Amino acid sequence: MKTVPLKKWRIAPWRKGVQWLATLLILVIPFVRPGGESLLRLDAGTRTLLFFGAKLRIEEFYLLLIVVLILVFAFLFVTMLFGRVWCGWLCPQTTLGDLADWFDARTRVLPAPARAALRVLWHLALSALVAANLVWYFIAPPDFFARIAAGKLGAVAGISLTVTALIVYLDLAFVRRRFCKSVCPYGRIQLMTMERGTLTLEFDPELKGVCLRCGACVRACPTGIDIRQGLQIECINCGRCLDACRDVFAPRKSGGLIHYTFGPRGPDGSRPVNKKALLLGGVLLLLVALLVFEATTRQEATLKVQRAESGEVKRLPDGSLVNFYSVFLENRGGASRTFSLEAAPLPGYRVELIGPVREITLAANANRKIGFALKLNPAPAPGMQVELRLVSGDKVVAASPLPVAVQ
């Protein structure tokens, strides 16, 4: 009979620590407000994403697309390396299920009516917290609580809050682990992404004769599988069976029969190379490099110009031509800045901007609409353009052409 090496350390404390940390981050992030703005929030009203101190407006959502691609590829990369570690260690569904199970265990000694009533209240409290936390990523918590107190949350936010709370409550009351076993698509995606070198929980087949057939691993499994039957799609890599087996063998001064493994060892003792993970890792690095490049070369400020709504063109007695415009300025930086609008020199013409175009102060991530007039002397020929420049200090931070109408 093969000797089982003694291993005393347990997975549960580490898994619970990761779950608590992830949960606290999800709950706390909406309350972190550097500079008075949310750390991460999508403001649907202004079509702006508040992203770790920056404001990405809808025209900059290509950066958000890159971030989403990074998250998707990172998710797949982690899956190819560590299997369903997300399911067992980080997934909110697992965390909610654990909280519901914890409460059930603590109230088991109470009379059935009291236990049922407390169970409903606990599920309602968790559901309300999850629903509110979701809405906080669209409505800042201070505004959320103020609107709730005033009864002015709004139809969209109110419906979202109610529907999310209802879904979470039904999940806690009737579904829980059944979702992981039969509905969640991630387990099916895992089958397509797994390699021989992917991290899995394994019952050591060489130690099959040592197994006491006590069933502790099956009773500990939240999805009810038998790890002794080999890799199964329902396994969420939580490690509960590992702990249960080690607890059984600990009095016998030997380790458990279940362990995490990155694939079977070869004859030389090496592990298989996870080629898919290496390929995805390369793609992930390229996307991160692209995001860094785009973020570092992102314009400090922008201006967009359009003709005034009236489209009026004036000719003055001295032969000058006047066009009217509206300009939209945006300070994309993290600090307040002062800008000025200037027209590029045009040989043979006197170019003048008329309006509030000097010492324009914009707060961080702020924008403003300004009306001004462009005066050219003498009147130009049709089709001429003048370059409008946005200047901060002595630096031109943005520019846009001004098409000049002659009639």
Percent of the chain with pLDDT over 90: 47
- Tens of pLDDT, residue by residue over 259-275, are 888 876 666 656 666 77
What are the φ and ψ backbone dihedral angles of 272, each rounded to 5 degrees? -65, 145
Q: What is the pTM of this model?
A: 0.75
Domain boundaries, the chain: 1-31+83-264, 301-403
pLDDT, average across residues 111-134? 96
| Rounded-to-integer distance, Cα 3 and Cα 255, Å | 9
**What is the pLDDT at residue 44?**
73
Residue pLDDT, tens place only, 128-182:
999 999 999 999 999 999 999 999 999 999 999 999 999 999 999 999 988 888 8
SS3 9: coil
Q: Six-digit token pair at 211?
A: 């197994």
Q: What angle do CA 173, 174, 178 make, to 5 degrees?
A: 130
Which tokens belong to 191? 């089958």
Question: For 335-382, how does the pLDDT look when each residue is reduced to its tens digit (9 = 90+)?
Answer: 788 999 999 998 999 999 999 999 999 987 788 999 999 999 998 888
Distance CA 3, CA 268 (A): 21
CB-based contacts of 163, cutoff 8 Å, min separation 6: none
Mean pLDDT within 247-258: 86
Q: What is the mean pLDDT of residues 398-407?
A: 88
- Which runs of consecutive H residues, i.e. helices, occur in 154-274? 155-170, 177-178, 186-193, 216-220, 240-249
CATH of range 301-403; options 3.30.1380.10, 2.120.10.30, 2.60.40.10, 2.70.180.20:
2.60.40.10
**What is the DSSP code string of 247-281?**
HHHGGGT---SEEEESS---TTSPPPP-HHHHHHH
